Amino acid sequence: MLVFLVAISLFFLRSRNVVEAAPLQELTFQVVSPSRVALNEPEPRTVDSYRGLGAWVDGFDYSPPYSSTGVPPLVPRAVDEMAASGVETLYLQSGRLDDRSPDLLEDRWILTEFLMRAAQHDIDVIGWYLPKWTEDTVDLQHLMAAHDFEALGYRFDGVAVDIEWNQDGLDVAERNERFVKLSRLFSIQTAGDPIGAIVLPPVQTEVINPAFWPQFPWSDIDSLYDVWLPMSYWSFRTDPYGNGYTYNHESVQRLRSNLGDPDALVHPIGGIGGQIDAPPSGTEPYIAQVSQLEGFAKSLVDTNSIGGSVYDWLTLDAAGRAEMAELFSTGTAALVGED
């Protein structure tokens, strides 16, 4: 009966302007009598979903249209591995503004399996989307599609906005205006649900490359977002910022100063990746070394962050995943800031 309900629900979801269905991968179901079948009851959305160790997955990793073979390198079964590595929250790109993504969401079959598998392991899932500051409402539609998506009671535990796109041909004032307007509208329409802001690290925009996004409107958005996720990717950097501690520590300090809030909730994102044989930071192919992860974890503690993660799951090798699990389980990055 439960399998039947899943099939019907997913068929309905897929009928909403979705071009092509991907096969639903295997799920673990408990066989119950029809009288005991019940929908999942979604829990209220809170900032607690941003606490602890996270794992990042983007559309290039799991969505079939982005794979040359049609078989993506990451499937929902990877959630089982994340759970074994102590991951508490999966950050999953819900959709893309791209010709290969004609719908507001990626494949609903796959998104549903991610949500159901995550629930089996008590892992929260935050959907995220990269706006491109269009004149129309398409960015807001993508964000609301993630916020409103639900299948059998399974839904995202929150939505975060990836604030970094500057390839839009807009001048700074116009980009800021569109960004602030989108943020306000999304905040209003989500009716008080916590929203995450995935932001450029201030060290990047204020020290390393001030031309990337000058005059970033911190004071216009400080009350619109609840958790701040600076993209502290030190693997791109050279000294003094080419390590897991300094780049993130200073970025968090600057971020809170810009917001005028020394207690702003932060969940920094390190990386990119972490591999044993990675080259030194600042050299191609821009993958962090596993040995640098401890410094990053220490920066989480020293900044009283509520959690932390590394972008992304596929660029963390087995040693990197094991190191992050160990750092969080032993207290080096112990959940820091938990009430």
Alpha helices in 207-317 (DSSP H): 218-221, 246-259, 293-302
pLDDT of residue 336: 47
Residue 97 vs residues 68, 138, 258, 260, 269: alpha-carbon distances, Å: 19, 8, 29, 33, 23
Alpha helices in the chain (DSSP H): 2-14, 59-62, 78-84, 108-120, 138-148, 172-189, 202-203, 218-221, 246-259, 293-302, 318-330
If 0-12 CB within 10 Å is exposed, 13-18 middle and 19+ buried, where does residue 106 land? Answer: buried
pLDDT of residue 42: 81
Chain-centre distance of CA 125, in angstroms?
Answer: 8
pLDDT for residue 15 is more than 90: no
Give the position of tokens 């329409």.
Answer: 189
Cβ atoms within 10 A of the Cβ of 145, count? 18
Element (H, E) at 90: strand 89-93
Q: Indicate which CATH number applies to the domain containing 313.
A: 3.20.20.80
Inside any domain, residue 40: no
Inside any domain, residue 38: no
How many domains in the chain?
A: 1
pLDDT of residue 39: 74
Report residue 40's pLDDT band, with 50, 70 and 90 as the boundaries.
confident
Q: What percent of the chain has pLDDT over 90?
A: 82
Q: 41-50, 107-116, 180-189 — which is least confidently predicted?
A: 41-50
pLDDT of residue 29: 39
pLDDT of residue 154: 96
CB 312, CB 93: distance < 8 Å: no
Report residue 331's pLDDT band, with 50, 70 and 90 as the boundaries.
confident
Between CA 290 and CA 273 the distance in angstroms is 8
pLDDT for residue 209 is more than 50: yes
Report residue 24's pLDDT band, with 50, 70 and 90 as the boundaries.
very low
Q: 39-53, 114-128, 138-152, 220-234 — which is least confidently predicted?
A: 39-53
Q: What is the mean pLDDT of residues 177-206?
A: 97
Strand partners, 275: 289
Inside any domain, residue 238: yes
Q: Could you read off the pLDDT of 263-319 as tens digits, one per residue?
A: 999 999 999 999 999 999 999 999 999 999 999 999 999 999 999 999 999 999 999
Between CA 283 and CA 217 the distance in angstroms is 31
**Parent domain of 87:** 48-330
Q: Could you read off the pLDDT of 127-138 as tens digits, one per residue?
A: 999 999 999 999
The phi, psi pair for 234, rounded to 5°, reads -75, -15
Listed residue (145, 148, 59, 69) closest to 110, CA to CA: 59
pLDDT of residue 334: 55
The phi, psi pair for 51, rounded to 5°, reads -85, 150
Between CA 38 and CA 339 the distance in angstroms is 32
Inside any domain, residue 10: no
Q: What is the mean pLDDT of residues 60-70?
A: 93
Report residue 1's pLDDT band, with 50, 70 and 90 as the boundaries.
very low
Inside any domain, residue 260: yes
pLDDT of residue 290: 97
Looking at residue 243, the DSSP 8-state letter turns out to be: S
Inside any domain, residue 108: yes
pLDDT of residue 330: 85
Q: What is the mean pLDDT of residues 240-261?
A: 97
pTM summary value? 0.88
Mean pLDDT of the chain: 89
Inside any domain, residue 14: no
Tokens of residue 292, six digits:
């640098």
pLDDT for residue 22 is more than 70: no
CB 149, CB 115: distance < 8 Å: no
Cβ atoms within 10 A of the Cβ of 315, count? 21
Measured distance between the N- and C-terminal CA atoms of the chain, rounded to whole angstroms: 41
Q: Could you read off the pLDDT of 151-170 as tens digits, one per residue?
A: 989 999 999 999 999 999 99
Inside any domain, residue 53: yes
Chain-centre distance of CA 304, in angstroms?
Answer: 20
State the helix-helix crossing angle for 293-302 and 246-259, rounded to 10 degrees: 30
Between CA 270 and CA 71 the distance in angstroms is 28
Look at strands 195-199 and 307-311 and give their pairing: unpaired
Q: What is the mean pLDDT of residues 183-202?
A: 97
Tokens of residue 297, six digits:
């974890």
CB 267, CB 229: distance < 8 Å: yes
Between CA 278 and CA 269 the distance in angstroms is 18
